[in-house]
Amino acid sequence: MRGKADVREFLDHGWRAFPDLTFELIAGPHIAGDGPRAAYWWKATATHQGPIDPPGIPATGKQIEFDGVDIHDYRDGKIAKLRIIVNMNDIATQLGILPGPGSTAEKIMVGMHKLRSRHTRS
């Protein structure tokens, strides 16, 4: 994202999909010693009540919980760069988009990937 309009669009899509999204600060701010930078560790909870658009995933009604880290770079007292780090695989699994660890569906998916890898190497 670049600029306020991109951030606004991202937030609008997020609130539409997860209108009850809440965050809890776990730790931070952790201030960098080598420049104007800080990190925050947080936990989020939400219910998937609207489409995730893009790509157009319909609401599932499922509750999700995940944690993440924000890294802020500051310039002139404002956030100049923000990196948000989350485990998207965990979120997709909780929403039912990806199969759960050890499930039959996961084993089939891994087997298909192995077969494809062997085929593309030949």
Give the mean pLDDT per block of 10 residues along the chain (122 residues): 88 96 97 96 98 92 98 94 95 93 88 89 72
The total domain count for the chain is: 1
Q: How far apart are CA 46 and CA 21, in angstroms?
A: 4
What pLDDT, on a 0 to 100 scale, did the predictor assign at position 122? Answer: 66
Look at residue 120 and tell me if it is in a domain: no
Look at residue 61 and tell me if it is in a domain: yes
Look at residue 42 and tell me if it is in a domain: yes
Look at residue 115 and tell me if it is in a domain: no
Q: Which long-range contacts (CB under 8 A, 24 or more apart) does 61-66 make?
A: 62/94, 62/95, 62/96, 64/91, 64/94, 64/95, 65/94, 66/90, 66/91, 66/94
Look at residue 95 and tell me if it is in a domain: no
Give 113's contacts (C-beta < 8 A, 6+ positions apart): none
State both tokens at 52: 């995730």
pTM for the model stands at 0.80
Look at residue 52 and tell me if it is in a domain: yes
Look at residue 91 and tell me if it is in a domain: no
What's 28's DSSP letter? E
Q: What is the CATH number of the domain that holds 10?
A: 3.10.450.50
What pLDDT, on a 0 to 100 scale, did the predictor assign at position 68? Answer: 98
- Domain holding 32, by residue range, is 3-86
Look at residue 102 and tell me if it is in a domain: no
